[in-house]
Amino acid sequence: MKRQRGHKARLYLTPDQLAQVDGQGHGARAMWNLLHELWQMTPKCQRSLGRMDQAIRQARKDIPWLGPSPQAAQQVLKTCHRAWVNCWEGRAEAPAFKKRTVRRAIDIPQGRDLRIARLSRHWGQCWVPMVGLVKFRWTKALPYGKRADKHNKVTGARLVKEANGWYIVFRVQTEVDEPKPHEGPITGIDRGIAKPLALSDGTFREHEPWLTPGEAKRLKRLEQQRERRRAHRKPGERNSSRLKHTYDQIKQLRARATRRALDWQHKTTTELAGTFGVIGVEDLAITNMVKSAKGTVEAPGTNVRQKAGLNRSISGEAWGRTVTFLEYKLADRGGVLVKVPAPNTSWRCSACGFIAPGSRESQSRFVCKADGCGFVENADTNAARNIEHAAGHAVSGRGDLGVTRS
C-alpha cells in the first residue's frame, strides 16, 4: 500500500538566501491576501480557478513587488481554493486575511524540482526555486536520485518559518506491505493534566515541565517587559526595535517548549503503539473544553482566571496531537485506535459499574459510593479502566481490528 508521510528538516541558509526566502514568504502571504479579497469581491457565478489564475499572472506583470513571489504562485491559489472547500463542507472555518505575524510558508509542489542530494552523513542539499541550492540537516533517509522510483519518491515540499529559523517539510510517498494484525493487549488511556497519560494497567506516562525553572522565570520576565514596552507605544505607532526583539525572544522560548513537547509525544506514542494492539481514548470535544469563561457584559462568567489557567494547561498538553500520533502509528503497526464516548468515564466505578458524581473525591482519588463496594483507586486509573472496558466492547462488536474507529 502507498503511505504518505511528512519529514521536517532544519534549513541552514546564507544571509543572501535568507533574505530571498523571507521575500518569497512575504510574497506568498501578499498573494494569499490579494486572492482572498478578489475571491470575495467576485460574484459566485464568476468564481473559477482559471479566472483567478489569469488575475495572478496579470498582477505579477503590473505590480513590481510581486515579482519575487514564488514561482508556484498558482499553488497559493490551489491552497486558497482548498481552504474554501473545507469551509463549505464544514471541516474548517472560513479563510481569513493573513497578518505579517502569522507563520510564513512557501510551497514547492513538484518533487522533481527539489534535486535532493546527500552531501555527508549529517548534511543534505536541495534546490529552492529563485533561491538556489540550500543545505539542510539530514536526519532521515529520503528517496532521492537513483533510490527514487514511481512508488518511493518525494512528491513536494513546503518551507515554513519557525521562531528559530526556516524548516523544510518534505512530502514523502513510499510503498509498504500491509501490516499484520497487532497481537498486543488492549489498554485504555485517560488524558489529564496532573497525570498526562494514565493507562488502565495502573502505570502512567509523565514528563517534566517543558521549560526549566530558569527558562520559565526568564519567560515571565520577558512577558512583563513586553507589557511595559507596549504601554509606552502610542495607538497606531509601529513596534520599536526593542519590542520586536522582546517578541522574538518570547517566541524562541515558546518554540523550545513546543519542540520538547513534540519530542516527548513522539517517543511516548511510539512506545505505546509498539506495545498495545488496541488503545482506547475518550472522544473529547477539546475545542469546547478550552473556550473562555469570560461570558458577556450582560452575563459575565465566573472563575474566569481559574478557567483561563485550566485552558492553558489543556492546550499545553496537546491532547488532540497525542491522539493523532497514536492513530497513524497504530495503523502502521496493525493496531487500532478506538474513540469511546466521554460521559461518566470519571464517575463510573470500574469494579462494579455504579455511577455517582461524588465518587471522585479529588483530582487523584476515586472512592465508589455504592453499598457493599467501596472500591478505592487513583481517579485517572479508574477512568482509564472504564475506557478500556468500553473500547473492548466496541472492538468485539465490530469484529474488525484493522480500521480505526472514530
What does the DSSP assignment read for 114-129? T--EE-SSSEEEEEET
**Gyration radius from the chain CA atoms:** 25
Q: Which three cell numbers stand for residue 303?
A: 472563575
| Known active-site residue 332 | no
| Known active-site residue 190 | yes
- Sign of dihedral through CA atoms 105, 106, 107, 108? negative
According to DSSP, the residues that pair with 10 across neighbouring strands are 167
Q: Which three cell numbers stand for residue 64?
A: 513590481
- E strand map for 119-260: 123-128, 132-137, 153-162, 165-175, 186-191, 197-199, 204-205
**CB under 8 Å to 400, separation ≥6 — which residues?**
none
CA-to-CA distance for 339 and 345, rounded, in angstroms? 12
Q: Which three cell numbers stand for residue 348?
A: 463510573
Q: What is the separation of C-alpha 20 from the centre of its chain, rounded to a whole number of angstroms?
A: 27
CA-to-CA distance for 173 and 150, rounded, in angstroms? 9
Of residues 107, 317, 377, 380, which has the active-site annotation?
380
- CB-based contact 152:143 (threshold 8 Å): yes
CA-to-CA distance for 316 and 286, rounded, in angstroms? 12
User: How many Cβ atoms from other residues are within 10 Å of residue 39's Cβ?
Assistant: 18
Q: What is the separation of C-alpha 33 from the centre of its chain, rounded to a whole number of angstroms?
A: 24
Q: Phi first, then psi: what are they for 198, rounded to 5°?
A: -110, 125
Of residues 282, 317, 377, 388, which has the active-site annotation?
282
Strand 132-137 and strand 123-128: pairing? antiparallel
Of residues 107, 190, 317, 388, which has the active-site annotation?
190
* Residue located via cell numbers 502571504: 29
Q: Which residues are catalytic?
A: 190, 282, 380
